[in-house]
Amino acid sequence: MKKKAAICVLALALAMLTSCGDSSSSSENKKDETTKTDRETIYQVSLLQGLTLGDYNGSVSVKELKQKGDTGIGTFEGVNGELIMVDGTVYRAKSDGSIETAPDDETIPFANVTFFDSDEKQDISDVSSIADLKKLLDEKVEKLGKNQFYMVRVDGTFKKMHARSELKQEKPYKPLAEALATDQREFSWDNIEGTVVALYCPQYMKDLNAAGWHLHFVSKDKKYGGHVLELDVDKAELIIDSTQGFNMQLPDTEMFPTLDLTKDQSDDIKKVETKD
């Protein structure tokens, strides 16, 4: 009787072990499947055009954003600094150009992220301006196909990095070009190591985002960063992630449903994205 009971316990233990093993491997498979789709998707919060009209209300939390990717760019509620996500951490470049890690409960009005995969790599050196870097990246895109999305990392040393961030805005929010006219702050660093995260959107995205390139920077020591206005690459590794999927989350903010998104905002977007 005793022996029989021991065998029963053993059998039960074995059954539990086996079933445990089964359930964990099937959930792992499920995770793999989701990840595969997610990895090839650019996730976007709202439209850049919503942000430029002044909808700085956050709709997705930092915690939620981290479930949609590990690399990307964007901004925070009230345009409280430039967002740069590298290796799964969300950083804020503050209005003085310093960096802090963003809290999980902070919300985001606009961002683009993806799970970063290295599809192509190239060593680059002496690329002396943002225009030259964009030209080099454009040549890559011409070859790889200009109708898909690209997230790019440029890891290396920069002879010069010129970036901006902005002061947090208070309600009622002004259009972005108006806010930046007085509240944009610019910084320059010489001989700095770090990572540029660059997003490429195809031309047909011009009503939902900025077509072409948008670059943010964070230093290797995670002390400095911002939205890149100008740079001079000393030596760096260019890593390109080609992405075919696009997933946009419309914000549940009070302003968004009634914003007038019919107006062409390409001039305003050029003004807020570039240095001129």
Please say which residue, 94 or 227, places its beta carbon nearer to Zn ion. 227
Taking the complex as a whole, the smallest distance from the CB of residue 238 to Zn ion amounts, in Å, to: 19
Residue 30 CB burial class (10 angstroms; 0-12, 13-18, ≥19):
exposed
- Residues 201-240: x/- map of binding to Zn ion (CB under 5 A)? --------------------------x-------------
| The two structure tokens encoding residue 87 | 């290796």
Query: Residue 153 or 227: which CB sits closer to Zn ion?
Result: 227
- Residue number, 92 or 227, with CB nearest to Zn ion: 227
Tokens of 52: 């430029």
Minimum Å distance from CB 222 to Zn ion?
A: 18
Name the residue whose CB lies closest to Zn ion: 227
Instruction: In angstroms, give the least distance from the CB of 177 to Zn ion.
Output: 14
What crossing angle do the helices spanning 266-273 and 176-183 adopt, rounded to 10°? 20
End-to-end CA distance of the chain, in Å? 89
Instruction: List, as one string, the DSSP characters of 200-244.
Output: EE-GGGTTTS-SEEEEEEEETTSSBEEEEEEEEEEEEEEEEEEE-
What span, in angstroms and rounded, lies between the C-alpha atoms of 69 and 130? 26
**Minimal distance, residue 198 CB to Zn ion, in Å:** 10
- When the beta carbons of 120 and 183 are compared against Zn ion, the nearer one is 183
CB closer to Zn ion, 68 vs 227: 227
Cα gap 83→148, rounded to integer Å: 23
Residues 185-204 that bind Zn ion (CB under 5 A): none
**Nearest distance from C-beta of residue 31 to Zn ion, angstroms:** 32
How many chain residues bind Zn ion (CB under 5 A)? 1
Residue 229 and residue 18: Cα distance in Å, rounded?
A: 57
CA–CA dist 68, 89 (Å, integer):
12
Q: Residues with Cβ < 8 Å from 148, sequence gap 6 or more?
A: 202, 242, 243, 244
* AA identity, residue 173: Y
Which residue do the tokens 């001129």 mark? 276
Work out how close the CB of 158 gets to Zn ion at its nearest, in angstroms, rounded to a whole number: 17
Q: Pick between residue 121 and residue 275 the one whose CB is nearest to Zn ion.
A: 275
Minimum Å distance from CB 87 to Zn ion? 19
Q: Which residues bind Zn ion (CB under 5 A)?
A: 227
